[in-house]
Amino acid sequence: MATGRTHRPATRSRGIPEATVARLPLYLRALTALSERSVPTVSSEELAAAAGVNSAKLRKDFSYLGSYGTRGVGYDVEYLVYQISRELGLTQDWPVVIVGIGNLGAALANYGGFASRGFRVAALIDADPAMAGKPVAGIPVQHTDDLEKIIKDNGVSIGVIATPAGAAQQVCDRLVGAGVTSILNFAPTVLSVPDGVDVRKVDLSIELQILAFHEQRKAGEETAGEEAVTASVPKNTPKGPDGDVPVVMPA
């Protein structure tokens, strides 16, 4: 399998910066909550606060969508939900396969939040023959022998890897070989993929390490006369698009 990580430009071809794309799901989450409460319109300030984003940044982001709101009225909640969903490609159904149905894979399969956002778990795949045919979240687990056929039969373009780290590259290669072009990797390893394949990595332990760093810094700031401790750590630490630490990172 060809290797080499995908390097995305900071701006996608359609002119929406990656940083804006990363904030769209935050707006969508806040807007969906408003929609569920039947709130018809929202100001940029209210929405920015609900999404945890600076309001000037929000207005700039929405200008890329061609959405400027109405002075004195704000943004139409339902229309904005539609616009952002369309921009993110969520107005269509995305069949997803999960590979590695252990503790994490089973938890992901049971997570209802995927389906409600347009991601249908089409198949569960595991290398353990003892698991074949056993239902998890109502879906029978299938053996890795059939991985390529499962991908093709279900028209899958997004794969989730929840195998041990040592198996992740091989699983990734097979997924890509079968036509998968987007991978969400939970295994603690860096995956090599050919150009045109997107990999996103989720690592909760890294998030905890970043929080530990901040905790350490807070403790350092509270300790009078210990400037040497606070000065030894950089001021600018990794932040997410909305100012908090990101859970999903580029691979």
Indicate the annotated binding residues. Answer: 100-105
Q: Minimum CB separation from ligand NAD for residue 107, in Å?
A: 8
Enumerate the known binding-site residues for NAD(+). Answer: 100-105
What residues line the site for ligand NAD (CB under 6 A)?
99-105, 125-128, 144, 162-165, 167, 170-171, 186-188, 202-204
Q: Minimum CB separation from ligand NAD for residue 137, in Å?
A: 14
Rounded distance, CA 28 to CA 51, Å? 8
Nearer to ligand NAD (CB atom), residue 84 or residue 109: 109
Residue number of the CB atom closest to ligand NAD: 102
Q: Minimum CB separation from ligand NAD for residue 104, in Å?
A: 3
Nearer to ligand NAD (CB atom), residue 148 or residue 203: 203
C-alpha torsion sign, points 222, 223, 229, 230: positive
- Decide: 168 and 98 in contact? Cβ < 8 Å: no
Nearer to ligand NAD (CB atom), residue 69 or residue 105: 105
Q: Minimum CB separation from ligand NAD for residue 1, in Å?
A: 15
Rounded distance, CA 217 to CA 236, Å? 12
Q: Minimum CB separation from ligand NAD for residue 188, in Å?
A: 5
176-210 in b/e form (b: 16+ CB < 10 A) is bebebbbbbbbbebebbbeeebebebbbeebbeeb
Cα–Cα separations (whole angstroms), residue 66 to 15, 60, 86, 88: 12, 10, 13, 15
154 exposed, middle or buried (CB, 10 Å; 0-12, 13-18, 19+)?
A: middle
Nearer to ligand NAD (CB atom), residue 30 or residue 184: 184
Nearer to ligand NAD (CB atom), residue 81 or residue 210: 210
Rounded distance, CA 115 to CA 108, Å? 11
